[in-house]
Amino acid sequence: MLMRLACGIEYDGTGYHGFQRQAESRGPTIQGTLEVAIGRIGGVATTVYGAGRTDSGVHASGQVIHFDTGDQSRLTPPEWMRAINAVLPDSVAVRWVTAAPEGFHARYSAVSRSYRYTVWNDPAPSPLRARYSYHFARPLAVDAMNEACRFLLGRKDFGAFGRSPEEGNPSRKGKPGPHSSVRTMLEATCWHEHALIFFDLTADAFLTGMVRRIVGTLLRVGQSRMSLDEFVAIVQRAEKTHPGSAAPSRGLCLVRVAYPNGLLQNDLMQPV
């Protein structure tokens, strides 16, 4: 009988070609790295499923994965954690492991994902923050960007900021459903601590590139290069052609995946 394990994963995405294993060999991925490590422990090829398909260079402190193992009699969840971490590279770590209930799926059981984008807003760069934040030397109006964030809240078409996984698939043309660009934004705030500016976004799901494109557009608002009315119009029109460009991937981190209350019992599953 198979046992399903859920794990909390933290990783430095620098040098990885995103979470998802690629059909073509473009370089290492987080999913592929985890599958090799877990396969070494269990002795069989194992498929890992993740809650969020982070892009190349994007980090995570709260990614959640699951995998199935038939070796439940040999290793307890804490032993699995220690064993996997012993063979993972330093850039990837398992933070917790727990037995998952029947039917649990890291991606499809999740009710929301939370991302944080970090900007180092100072005339001088910070070498110690360079891997995990975007250095933006020009002054930024945090209050104006936070005001713009209010217009991201709720259920709406976010097509201006990203694409769905099956966009461009002719078989989906004109068909509504899970592959549309409609999402529900539950939280959207911008705040700062001295020179660090944080963009915190929580939604039921995200489009590919959505957070980085939102942040890139908000930065124009923060520079007074885009008015609040212009930003609202971009959100409402949901058209991809607009002045905002995607912010660099190094500033983005998946910080939390939420599940229905009681589905996963683990003390480490706390909001950042």
Q: How far apart are the first and last CA of the chain?
A: 36
Nearest CA to 136 out of 151, 150, 117, 152 is that of 117
Nearest CA to 113 out of 261, 253, 265, 263 is that of 253
Q: Which among 55, 157, 204, 229 is annotated as catalytic?
A: 55
Beta bridge partners of 10: 93
Phi, psi of 129 (to 5 degrees): -105, 0
CA angle 155, 213, 228 (to 5 degrees): 70
Nearest CA to 258 out of 181, 187, 162, 155 is that of 187
- Is 55 one of the catalytic residues? yes
Q: What does the buried/exposed string (b/e) look like for 113-150 if buried means 16 or more CB atoms within 10 Å of the residue's CB?
A: bbbbbbbbbeeeeeeebeebbbbbeeebebebbbebbe
Sign of CA dihedral 159, 160, 166, 170: positive
Q: Which residues are catalytic?
A: 55
